[in-house]
Amino acid sequence: MFDFLDGTTETWQWIALISTLIFLGSLLALPFLLSLIPEDYFLKHEDYLSQWKASRPILRIVALTFRNVVGVILILCGIIMLVAPGQGILTILLGLACSAFPGKRTLELRLLRQERVSRSLNWMRSRFDRPPLKLPDEITDSSESN
């Protein structure tokens, strides 16, 4: 049943190295990336790529594809970090913010309303002298266009 665990020592060393690199990368990149989010991002949520719909449709498709690929990679890394060292929940949240899918805004706001998540996120933002994120009073899907 656990034949896959009979791998060589070299395989386990690579797994340990990759896990360590993901952990160190998340420690360095996540606080910086979270500090780039405007404090009112969730109050006036806009799809910046929709401005290119008519004028640059090919560029919009390329940007949307890149955005979703980065988001999926971050979500997968976050899932790995749930069992390996790293900031799994925050990486998943960042991956969700990069992605575009129906119901995204509602999911983001539900996650951000969790006390531990919002406290951690705003603590990281404060390390870069950024104000806490402002959230709307209620969760709606009205501006769901990403």
pLDDT tens, position by position, 6-34 = 667 777 777 778 778 877 877 787 788 88
Domain boundaries, the chain: 56-128
Note the pLDDT tens digit of each residue in 30-75: 788 888 888 888 787 555 556 666 677 788 888 889 989 988 988 8
What b/e readout covers 101-118, taking b as 16+ CB neighbours within 10 angstroms? eeebbeebbebbeeeebe
Question: Is 116 within 8 Å of 29 (Cβ atoms)?
Answer: no
CB burial of residue 67 (10 Å; 0-12, 13-18, 19+): middle
* 121 has a pLDDT exceeding 70: yes
Q: What is the three-class DSSP state of 50?
A: helix
CA distance 75 to 95: 5
